[in-house]
Structure 1
Amino acid sequence: MRIFSGKNILKPVVYIAVIIVAVWLLLSGNIFSGFKNLFKRQPVVIENTAAVITQIKDIAELNTIQMYAEVVADSSEINSVGMANTALKTLGFVGLPLRTHRKLVIIAKGTVKAGIDFQKLDSSRIFVQDDSIRVQLPAAKYLDIITNPSDFDIFVETGTWTTNEVNLVKMKAQNLLVHKADEQKIISQANTKAVNLVESFLKNIGYRKVYVFI
């Protein structure tokens, strides 16, 4: 028969006591709750509306659409003497010797930039609920028409033109650039790009349901 010493009996008792204490701590919730939280799905942390507005405004410059084009603008004028010459020639007479017909043709190159003015974006245009967000963006508009002095070339110039008259023809050229941008639907492209850009941004910062519109 094997005789157990006091030491041999004590070791199993100590092991059992340690196990009982460990189980009690786990069931009490202190350690167990912390251990359980390691595997618990954490809620999505969403930034507040003010922070979202600030960050959207910071990406405004990325939202532009640019179009480079070349246009031709002109202006001409026939004064009373010129019109009298036309009338005389119609009747078969030789016109007056003085010619007063003027013509100016300018070729202009420039860039039209369109995009969203994010300074108009405020909290009234943003609705947030949990992980869902709804944003109404301001409509795109033309932000800038860039024409440098070197972008204008005088193609035809007859007669005498004042600086103010030349500038009026240059302004006409700028309007033609905008008209060409309209034909290429630059504003529509800027709206589409803005919606896609902001949608992507909001999803990347944690929103799961995103609705962005103009």
Structure 2
Amino acid sequence: MRKHSSPIPPPENLPTAYQEVLSWNVSTRPRRVLLAHTLAVLSFCLFGVLFAFGAVSVGKQPLSGSFALGLREAVALMVGMLLTLMLHELIHGVAMQLYGAHPRYGILWRRMMLYATDPAYAHPRNRYIVIALAPFVCISTLVVLAMWAFAGTAWVPLLAICGVINASGAAGDMWMTLIVLRYPPSAYIVDERDGIRVFCQSTVGMDTP
């Protein structure tokens, strides 16, 4: 539960008889920041293997001697990574907008993290899960299709790296999805720049994971 003298008011679209049962932000506790980085590294390793397999099987990329990182490739990789991160947040925002929110975008400079959020709008739990996982699902699918379309070319390893970056960046989305799954489908979730607020009907007990 939020612990300060001037609590943030609940969103206007929140049904009556709901109360805030969880205010969860990554940056409020050092342990969470460390865990977030750990999950990102683990995701990078896991999906690195999976997308490498996809590059070989779907993209027809040879196992060795197929990709040299010269200046052109390095620039293409940096541009691709930046566009991937921007597309990740844009998909979050589009999903929010489809469900009635009015997302805004920005950067948390201290954490060098892009975000899309609308803290004035509450989403039913299952809709929030769709919003949280939409970039991972959409971009991963696009990467696999693009590897197939550009099979055997130098684009394949670049696409695979972008897929890994996106999946690694989605580690936090997956973490928050696991948190909200602890609450019933009737719960409402408010997205914040680096966390969430959970609202439940007053009969549901409060929790602080």
- TM value normalised by structure 2: 0.23
Q: Which structure shows the bigger proportion of residues in strand conformation?
A: 1
- Higher-Rg structure is 1
- TM value normalised by structure 1: 0.23
| Greater RCO (Cα-Cα under 8 Å, separation 6 or more) | 2
